[in-house]
Structure 1
Amino acid sequence: MSLLTYSAPGSAPETPATPSDSTYPRPSPTPEAAAAALAGRLAAAAAQTDQEGGFPTAEFGWLREAGLFTAPLAAVLGGADLMAPAHTLTMLRTLRHIGRGNLAVGRVYEGHLNALQLAQRYGQPAQVRRWAQAARAGHLFGVWNTQAHDGVHLEPLPNGRFRLRGSKTFGSGAGHLTRPLITGTLPEGGWQMFILPTDEQPATLDASFWKPLGMRATASFRVDLTGAEIGPDDLLGQPGDYYQQPAFSGGAIRFAAVQLGGAEAVFDETRRFLRELNRLDDPYQKMRLGEMAMLVESGNLWLRGAAEHAARPTATTDAEATVAYANLVRTAIEEICLRVLPLAERCVGARGLLRPEPFERLHRDLTHYLRQPAPDAAIADAGRFVLQQPTPAYALWNA
């Protein structure tokens, strides 16, 4: 059975057969090209999994076959080094292409990238090799950090292991991720990352938690980890590493890239719809499409700016500037998406919003995905940063 076959609450996903490292497909020709080639196929299949409890199992099989599971790994680990600062633009464009194909796939794949980036940044060499092998074997990673009052606690056992108690909410890919990176509280209060092999440890999934407006196919369930056990080798980094800046807030450029892909999909579907109805000569439609084109291209320029900023030699040491710029990017792309959606609605009218036209799903998915945490605080933090700088506007982001 497939690695990504859905598991009922209380059971674990099945482990796939493990191909040898020498036969596992590598990204070819590049992750960006692979994602671009898959986008149309992802879009064509998106409606099939658009249901609560659904998950794009086949689609992640396509990503795996295209080498995109291993693309975030360093070259020495068999990957395409997609998470290296020098490759940030390629990474963002890869996410954009997947997002324009299917936002639910983009959301879960962005988590896969994030988890493998954190694993490589904070893991010990033996751990990194083990998790890289898991990615090459076809395991899907992700990040489960959000929780409610019954959050995850790590309880020490006499044998040096830890027993888990508590739950995570919005566990995207629940029942399908076999290597989620999870955060939990240590007895002394530290916030600790660990990677749980969910194909070996129990987890109870509450699918009733996930009744969303959009992004139905992300399977972002409540996950009760109570009773699972991990060893010291499953712990990642030191307590508090998860929130280290600029990596934590700076990562917002990744989900912004996926969101921009959703806006591109809305733009493309709007043009297709108008062409099929032969409404190409209407001056008001031309005006709306021109505005949409301007918005989408401005989003692409923001991605380029984000990549250039992330590749600065001082990107890590000058964390405040990196985070502030990332907050500008996420805010700008949110605004772009929020302007593209009503323009598309006016173009296609009520008829275009009827199923099986894709607008209804695209609208729900993008609207839901845009609701990322603390949007007002993000732009306010960027404002705080610029207020403190004596640098003139033309050179503010060039240091």
Structure 2
Amino acid sequence: MLAAPTPEEAAAALAGRLAAQAALTDQEGGFPTEEFQWLGAAGLLTAPLSQALGGAGLLAPPQTLSMLRTLKHLGRGNLAVGRVYEGHLNALQLTQRFGQPAQVQRWAADARQGRLFGVWNTEAQDGVHLEPLPEGRFRLRGSKTFGSGAGHLTRPLITGALPDGGWQMFILPADEQLPTLDASFWKPLGMRATASFRVDLTGAEIGPQDLLGPPGAYYQQPWFSGGAIRFAAVQLGAAEAVFDETRRFLRDLGRLDDPYQKMRLGEMAMLVESGNLWLRGAADHATRPAAEADVAATIAYANLMRTAIEEICLRTLQLAERCVGARGLLRPEPFERLHRDLTHYLRQPAPDAAVADAGRFVLAHPTPAHSLWNA
């Protein structure tokens, strides 16, 4: 009997199918609903669960490289799918890390039933507040912005302020406590199909069984900043898609013998492969025995990796545009959508601070360059 595909193999097998359908959901308010059914059928929605919980153990440290490659393949197929899946994976990681045993079992059962998780942390001035009620319950007040998957996530992990200023995670059963969605908020350059609306939670109520971890757990390091390696892997997948489509476009036009196109494709190949080496380096660094104790080094390496992937993606886009010209940026060619989606997704928070953090680390550690990251 053949062994079941690994999550990495399942994601790689789905990438082409995701790409073929990506244009259909590329509209404001769109969402890749059918695509997530495919992910569920392939076992990818439960893959982040431990094997004891019925998953594939994709979050176990020895599987970090496979996890990153799984995210990369989904980003290669459809960046919106990759982004939402990364949030699903992140939420299940946090539930397993900080949840009480009964909570972990309940949320794992939700994932096995096909419920989609995600993380809603970003907010504006009207952020979420938890107002105490009797018996350890809370009434919610306020909104989250960039609530990716709004209207489709039934188990979003949300953060909010306690009366004493603590920052508390909770899982909202959004199929029972329906938030108010403001789709007019989401008028983006790209990533239209992530349905990242403003989500008003005012009036919803949660109980102690919905609270996840102690106040402040969401920002615990190195996991918070170190998680940047996950979204960078999704971004690299989109760069690979740009490379593949550029080569296909030139082949269709019969431009393979042009020396300048050869030069551009050579540079693009170098960029993409360097990104894959960064994935391997990030996985090796994140899984070393001292990763959790050596917080500063783990964060600094993750910041280097996300910065390198950003530069790889930006340069890949620039080279692809020169290769395909104005003709290639006309629909139904995929470049216009890929460019919009990747450009938008690359705008992750605090890119300059990420580089500065890595600089502070290396300035504070006089270790020779050849062994700086080997501790």
TM-score after normalising by structure 2? 0.99
Q: Indicate the residue corresponding to 1:10 in structure 2.
A: none
Between the aligned partners of 1:115 and 1:343, the Cα distance in structure 2 is 35
Between the aligned partners of 1:100 and 1:300, the Cα distance in structure 2 is 13
Percent of pairs with identical residues:
84
Q: Indicate the residue corresponding to 1:85 in structure 2.
A: 61
- Superposed CA offset, 1:30-58 (max 9, x none): 00000000000000000000000000000
**Within 5 A, what are the aligned runs for 1:358-397?**
358-397=334-373
Between the aligned partners of 1:158 and 1:280, the Cα distance in structure 2 is 71
Q: Indicate the residue corresponding to 1:141 in structure 2.
A: 117
Following TM superposition, by how much is the alpha carbon of 1:29 offset from its aligned partner in structure 2, in angstroms?
Answer: 1.3
What SS class does the counterpart of residue 197 from structure 1 fall into? coil
Letter in 2 for 1:224: D
What SS class does the counterpart of residue 159 from structure 1 fall into? helix
1:159 aligns with 2:107: no
1:66 aligns with 2:49: no
What SS class does the counterpart of residue 183 from structure 1 fall into? strand
Between the aligned partners of 1:269 and 1:47, the Cα distance in structure 2 is 14
Match of 1:198 among 151, 163, 174: 174
Tell me if structure 2 keeps the 8 A contact 1:28–1:67: no
**Within 5 A, what are the aligned runs for 1:157-236?**
157-236=133-212
1:103 aligns with 2:79: yes
What SS class does the counterpart of residue 194 from structure 1 fall into? strand
Tell me if structure 2 keeps the 8 A contact 1:202–1:227: no
Q: Indicate the residue corresponding to 1:304 in structure 2.
A: 280
Between the aligned partners of 1:160 and 1:345, the Cα distance in structure 2 is 56
Between the aligned partners of 2:4 and 2:130, the Cα distance in structure 1 is 41
- Spell out structure 1 runs of 4+ moving beyond 4 A: none
Between the aligned partners of 1:376 and 1:396, the Cα distance in structure 2 is 22
Q: Indicate the residue corresponding to 1:126 in structure 2.
A: 102
Between the aligned partners of 2:234 and 2:362, the Cα distance in structure 1 is 27
What SS class does the counterpart of residue 136 from structure 2 fall into? coil
Tell me if structure 2 keeps the 8 A contact 1:246–1:316: yes
Letter in 1 for 2:60: A
TM-score after normalising by structure 1? 0.93
Between the aligned partners of 2:122 and 2:336, the Cα distance in structure 1 is 28
Following TM superposition, by how much is the alpha carbon of 1:294 offset from its aligned partner in structure 2, in angstroms?
Answer: 0.1
Letter in 2 for 1:107: R
Following TM superposition, by how much is the alpha carbon of 1:67 offset from its aligned partner in structure 2, in angstroms?
Answer: 0.3
Q: Indicate the residue corresponding to 2:328 in structure 1.
A: 352
Following TM superposition, by how much is the alpha carbon of 1:158 offset from its aligned partner in structure 2, in angstroms?
Answer: 1.8
Between the aligned partners of 1:164 and 1:83, the Cα distance in structure 2 is 31
Between the aligned partners of 1:248 and 1:374, the Cα distance in structure 2 is 13
Tell me if structure 2 keeps the 8 A contact 1:98–1:106: yes
* Structure with greater helix percent: 2
Q: CA RMSD, aligned part only?
A: 0.7
Following TM superposition, by how much is the alpha carbon of 1:160 offset from its aligned partner in structure 2, in angstroms?
Answer: 2.2
Q: How many residues align?
A: 373
Tell me if structure 2 keeps the 8 A contact 1:28–1:66: no
Following TM superposition, by how much is the alpha carbon of 1:390 offset from its aligned partner in structure 2, in angstroms?
Answer: 1.8
- Superposed CA offset, 1:129-181 (max 9, x none): 00000000000000000000000000111232110000000000000000000
- Superposed CA offset, 1:6-41 (max 9, x none): xxxxxxxxxxxxxxxxxxxxx931000000000000
Following TM superposition, by how much is the alpha carbon of 1:85 offset from its aligned partner in structure 2, in angstroms?
Answer: 1.2
- Superposed CA offset, 1:261-288 (max 9, x none): 0000000000000000000100000000
Q: Which runs of 5+ in 1 are unaligned?
A: 1-26
- Superposed CA offset, 1:308-345 (max 9, x none): 00110010010110000000000000000010001000
Between the aligned partners of 2:100 and 2:74, the Cα distance in structure 1 is 31
Q: Indicate the residue corresponding to 2:256 in structure 1.
A: 280
Tell me if structure 2 keeps the 8 A contact 1:316–1:322: yes
Match of 1:32 among 8, 15, 31: 8
Tell me if structure 2 keeps the 8 A contact 1:28–1:34: no
Q: Which runs of 5+ in 2 are unaligned?
A: none
Tell me if structure 2 keeps the 8 A contact 1:154–1:186: yes
1:267 aligns with 2:243: yes
Between the aligned partners of 1:385 and 1:353, the Cα distance in structure 2 is 41
What SS class does the counterpart of residue 131 from structure 2 fall into? strand
Between the aligned partners of 1:384 and 1:84, the Cα distance in structure 2 is 30
Between the aligned partners of 2:314 and 2:148, the Cα distance in structure 1 is 24
What SS class does the counterpart of residue 130 from structure 2 fall into? strand
Between the aligned partners of 2:62 and 2:207, the Cα distance in structure 1 is 35
